[in-house]
Amino acid sequence: MQNLLDSVEGNLVPYSGVLGKLMLIFGLGLSSIGFPYQVYRNYIDHVCGISIIVIVLAIMLLLIRIPYSLSKRAWHMIPSDLVGLIATIALMWQWFVY
């Protein structure tokens, strides 16, 4: 199993820059557009359209990713993660209210 993991890691190393940029683009999209838009739609419709499990997992992910980004000095990830965390907390509030 370790050989398989080493092989996969070795094959992905040349693409790490591309994968990092894709992660940044999709992370920015989700945190800066997706979650705030969902908060807006919930406000307009007066119903929370996301499962509480998805909301809790997103909060947990962001609470782990923010310190990780700080430890790796990935400053460009911090603003979108903070926006995502605030929007996800708003989604949780909407889930309880609506």
Hey, what long-range contacts does 84-90 have (CB within 8 A, 24 or more apart)? 84/27, 84/30, 84/31, 84/32, 84/35, 84/58, 85/59, 87/31, 87/35, 87/36, 87/38, 87/39, 88/35, 88/55, 88/58, 88/59, 88/62, 89/59, 90/39
Q: What is the pLDDT of residues 5-53, one digit of tens each?
A: 788 778 878 887 887 788 888 888 888 888 899 999 999 999 988 888 9
Q: What is the pLDDT of residues 67-84, one digit of tens each?
A: 888 888 888 888 888 999
Within-domain flag for 8: no
Within-domain flag for 10: no
* Structural domain boundaries, residue 79: 29-97
Give the chain's domain count.
1
pTM: 0.72
Within-domain flag for 22: no
Within-domain flag for 5: no
Within-domain flag for 4: no
